[in-house]
Amino acid sequence: MKVLNLQCAHGHGFEGWFASNEAFETQLAGGLVSCPICSDTAITKLLTAPRLNLGSAKPPAETPAVPVAENNSPEARWMRAVREVMAKTEDVGERFADEARKMHYGEAEERGIRGQATREEAQTLLEEGIAVFSLPLPPALKETLQ
């Protein structure tokens, strides 16, 4: 639900509630939006940020992650660490070497990335002073996360 601040040609300000901006545009084009005070249909949208109406129909809360039974085996700790790295990095796939180099030379925004690089690419990056580290990922994990 979008609450829009609207104004008619006579300067009457009022709020209009619409399912979406598109719904507003459609209704406006069809002459269905009118001023509640003077019934003018020459309505303009004021440039204020629409706010979300969360009063009546709350969107369903995001499903909280179901905690997996705590498992502190080295494998489980490793998997958690890997998942954390994957959550915080952007997968650039085979562009990894390119992206790492761009960031190093300030041509791309600094961020955590992961991807595939050949041994030669990784070696070249290291020689250029670009820090890379390899993280062997079990194929099954890749599939569940992407």
Q: State both tokens at 93.
A: 């796939």
Beta bridge partners of 7: 13, 44
Q: Please report, as ranges, the residues that interact with Zn ion according to CB under 5 A.
A: 8, 10, 12, 35, 37-38, 40
Of the two residues 8 and 28, which places its CB atom closer to Zn ion in the complex? Answer: 8
Write the CA distances from 121 to 8, 102, 118, integer angstroms: 63, 14, 5
In the complex, least distance from residue 33 CB atom to Zn ion, rounded to whole angstroms: 11
In the complex, least distance from residue 89 CB atom to Zn ion, rounded to whole angstroms: 54
Nearest to 41 by CA among 18, 17, 9: 9
Of the two residues 33 and 122, which places its CB atom closer to Zn ion in the complex? Answer: 33
In the complex, least distance from residue 24 CB atom to Zn ion, rounded to whole angstroms: 17
In the complex, least distance from residue 11 CB atom to Zn ion, rounded to whole angstroms: 7
- Exposure of 119 in the CB half-sphere (CA atoms within 13 A): 0
Residue type, 79: M
Of the two residues 19 and 38, which places its CB atom closer to Zn ion in the complex? Answer: 38
Of the two residues 15 and 107, which places its CB atom closer to Zn ion in the complex? Answer: 15
C-alpha gyration radius of the chain: 26
